[in-house]
Amino acid sequence: MCLGVPGRIIEMKENYRAIVDVNGNRMEISVRLTPEVQVGQYVLIHAGFAMEIIDEDAARETMQLLLEVMEYGQL
């Protein structure tokens, strides 16, 4: 099982790289698996790779669930 974290693409870079915002934190990831992604879209991130493009509602719901799990010490 893998744990994917949602993030919003805020900048596209060269060589299939992008900057994402994950709950207020910025990081650089690979978008080689989702080359069609555009600035403003949300992706599910695992191990530094955007695994799939998701909609904003799914991103918010997933992040809320992750925050709740972390709050209760289950992760």
Q: To which residue do tokens 């918010």 refer?
A: 60
Share of the chain above pLDDT 90, in %: 77
Total tally of structural domains belonging to the chain:
1
Q: Could you tell me if 4 and 46 are in contact, meaning their C-beta atoms sit under 8 angstroms apart? A: yes
> By residue range, what is the domain housing residue 54?
5-71
53/44 Cα distance (integer angstroms) = 6
What pLDDT does residue 75 have?
52
What values do phi and psi take at 61, rounded to 5?
-65, -45
- Kindly report the CATH number assigned to the domain that includes residue 46: 2.30.30.140
The amino acid that residue 71 corresponds to is E
Whole-structure pTM value: 0.87
> Helix (H, G, I), strand (E, B), or coil: what is residue 64?
helix
- pLDDT of 72 strictly over 90: no
- pLDDT of 37 strictly over 70: yes
